[in-house]
C-alpha cells in the first residue's frame, strides 16, 4: 500500500481464469482449491478431476499476476506477496484479505444445503489456512465480515500466515471458540520439502491446536519434497469423505 498526498492507494487485484470441475454424482460439497506460486488453476483442476470424489464440485481459481519480492520483483501468479519464508517474515495482509475474499465470493453462490471447503498447495495452502482464521474470527484483517460457513480446510505443503498474533485475536472473541472447535483442518507435509520446510507445516499445526482448533490432523510423509503424491491425495480423499459426510461412489 502506498501513500500519495495523504490518500491511501489500494493495490488492484486482477484474478485470473477460474476452472470448475463438476461433480460426477450427487452434489454435496463445493471446495475452492488454490494453486501454488507461479501456477494456475488449470493444472490442479486436471488432477482433482481424477479423484474418486463424485460428490464434490471443485473450483480452481487463478491468482493475480503481480511483482513478487522473493523473485526480486519479477511478476508471477501469487495469492499474496512473499519476501522470505521465515518465522519473522511480514505477512502481506492486503493480499491475503483480497484472496480470502475472492475465495468467499466464489463460494457465495453455492446452494444453502451444500457444504463448503477450501484447500490448497504451498502458498495456496497458506491462503486456505488464512481463510480458516478469517472464518474463526468472523472477519478479515481489514475488519470486513467474513461471509462463508466453512466445513473443511486442507493445506498441503503450506504454512499458517499471522501465526504469532492469532492466539491474541481469538482470545478476545467468544464466538470464535465455537467456530474453531468444530472446523476440521487437514495439514500434510513432506519431510523432504526444500521449498517450504517441514518445520513450517509442523509449527502451523501446533499453532492452530494451541489457539483452540480442536480438529486438526497433521500428516507427515517421509521423503516427500515440495509436490504431491497419490498416497497424500488418497488421504485427502478419505478425510474429505469423512469430514464432509459424503456418500462416495455409488455401486
Enzyme catalytic residues: 122, 193, 226
Helix (H) or strand (E) holding 99: helix 93-107
Q: Are 31 and 240 in contact (CB under 8 A)?
A: yes
What three-state secondary structure class fits 237?
helix
Q: Are 185 and 129 in contact (CB under 8 A)?
A: yes
Q: Where are the beta strands (DSSP E) in the chain?
A: 2-4, 7-9, 19-21, 29-34, 56-60, 65-68, 74-77, 115-121, 150-156, 185-190, 216-221
Question: How far is the CA of 53 from the CAs of 57, 61, 177, 241, 244, in angstroms?
Answer: 9, 19, 31, 8, 11
Rounded Cα distance between 98 and 86, Å, is 22
Rounded Cα distance between 128 and 138, Å, is 15
Residue found under cell 495439514: 187
Q: What is the DSSP letter of 36?
A: -
What three-state secondary structure class fits 81?
coil
Spell out a b/e string for 59-70, using b for 16 or more CB atoms within 10 Å of the CB, else e.
bbbbbbebebee
Amino acid at each position: 500500500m502506498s501513500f500519495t498526498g495523504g490518500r491511501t492507494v489500494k493495490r488492484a487485484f486482477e484474478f485470473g481464469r477460474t476452472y470448475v470441475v463438476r461433480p460426477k454424482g450427487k452434489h454435496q460439497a463445493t471446495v475452492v482449491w488454490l494453486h501454488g506460486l507461479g501456477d494456475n488453476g488449470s493444472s490442479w483442476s486436471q488432477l482433482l478431476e481424477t479423484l474418486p470424489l463424485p460428490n464434490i464440485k471443485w473450483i480452481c481459481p487463478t491468482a493475480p499476476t503481480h511483482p513478487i519480492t522473493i523473485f526480486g520483483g519479477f511478476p508471477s501468479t501469487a495469492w499474496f506477496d512473499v519476501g522470505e519464508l521465515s518465522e519473522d517474515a511480514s505477512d502481506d495482509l492486503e493480499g491475503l484479505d483480497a484472496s480470502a475474499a475472492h475465495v468467499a465470493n466464489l463460494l457465495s453462490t453455492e446452494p444453502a444445503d451444500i457444504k463448503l471447503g477450501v484447500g490448497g498447495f504451498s502458498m495456496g495452502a497458506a491462503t486456505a489456512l488464512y481463510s480458516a482464521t478469517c472464518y474463526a474470527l468472523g472477519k478479515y484483517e481489514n475488519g470486513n465480515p467474513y461471509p462463508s460457513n466453512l466445513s473443511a480446510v486442507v493445506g498441503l505443503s503450506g504454512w499458517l500466515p499471522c501465526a504469532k498474533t492469532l492466539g491474541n485475536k481469538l482470545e478476545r472473541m467468544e464466538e470464535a471458540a465455537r467456530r474453531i472447535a468444530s472446523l476440521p483442518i487437514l495439514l500434510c507435509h513432506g519431510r523432504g520439502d526444500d521449498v517450504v520446510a517441514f518445520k513450517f507445516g509442523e509449527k502451523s499445526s501446533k499453532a492452530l491446536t494451541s489457539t483452540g482448533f480442536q480438529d486438526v490432523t497433521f500428516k507427515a510423509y517421509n521423503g516427500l519434497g515440495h509436490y504431491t503424491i497419490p498416497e497424500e491425495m488418497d488421504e485427502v480423499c478419505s478425510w474429505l469423505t469423512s469430514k464432509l459426510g459424503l456418500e462416495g461412489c455409488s455401486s
